Amino acid sequence: MENDNSTVVKEFILLGLTQSRDIQLLVFVLVLIFYLIILPGNFLIILTIRSDPGLTAPLYFFLGNLAFLDASYSFIVAPRMLVDFVSEKKIISYRGCITQLFFLHFLGGGEGLLLVVMAFDRYVAICQPLHYSTVMNPRVCYALLLALWLGGFIHSIIQVALILRLPFCGPNQLDNFFCDVPQVIKLACTDTFVVELLMVFNSGLMTLLCFLGLLASYAVILCRVHGSSSEGKSKAVSTCTTHIIVIFLMFGPGIFIYTRPFRAFPADKVVSLFHTVIFPLLNPVIYTLRNQEVKASMRRLFNQHIA
Q: Per-residue pLDDT tens for 180-214?
A: 888 898 889 888 888 888 888 888 888 888 888 88
Tell me the pLDDT of the chain averaged across its residues: 83
Q: Which domains does the chain have, with CATH numbers?
A: 11-300 (1.20.1070.10)
Q: Name the band, by pLDDT with cuts 50, 70 and 90, for residue 152.
A: very high
Residue 281 pLDDT > 80? no
Average pLDDT over residues 138-157: 94
Q: Residue 229: which pLDDT band, with cuts at 50, 70 and 90? A: low
Sign (positive/negative) of CA torsion 295, 300, 304, 307? positive
Distances from the Cα of 5 to the Cα of 2, 10, 93, angstroms: 9, 14, 18
Q: What is the pLDDT of residues 52-88, one digit of tens each?
A: 888 888 988 998 898 899 889 888 988 888 888 888 7
Pick the residue with more confidence: 103 or 1?
103
Q: What is the pTM of this model?
A: 0.87
- Whole-number percent of the chain with pLDDT over 90: 18
pLDDT reported for residue 218: 85
pLDDT above 70 as % of the chain = 91
Which residues are paired to 174 by β-bridges? 14
- Closest by CA to 244, choosing from 64, 108, 109, 115, is 115
Phi and psi (nearest 5°) for 93? -70, 160
Q: Return d(Cα 49, Cα 78) in angstroms, integer.
A: 26
> Which ranges in the chain belong to alpha helices (H)?
21-51, 58-85, 94-127, 132-135, 138-164, 181-185, 193-199, 206-226, 233-258, 268-273, 279-290, 292-306
Of the listed ranges 70-74, 92-96, 196-200, 235-239, the least confidently predicted one is: 235-239
Contact between 69 and 110 under an 8 Å Cβ cutoff? The reply is yes
Q: How many CB atoms lie within 10 A of CB 264?
A: 12
Q: What is the DSSP letter of 130?
A: G
Q: What is the CA radius of gyration of the chain?
A: 21
Averaged pLDDT for residues 163-181: 87
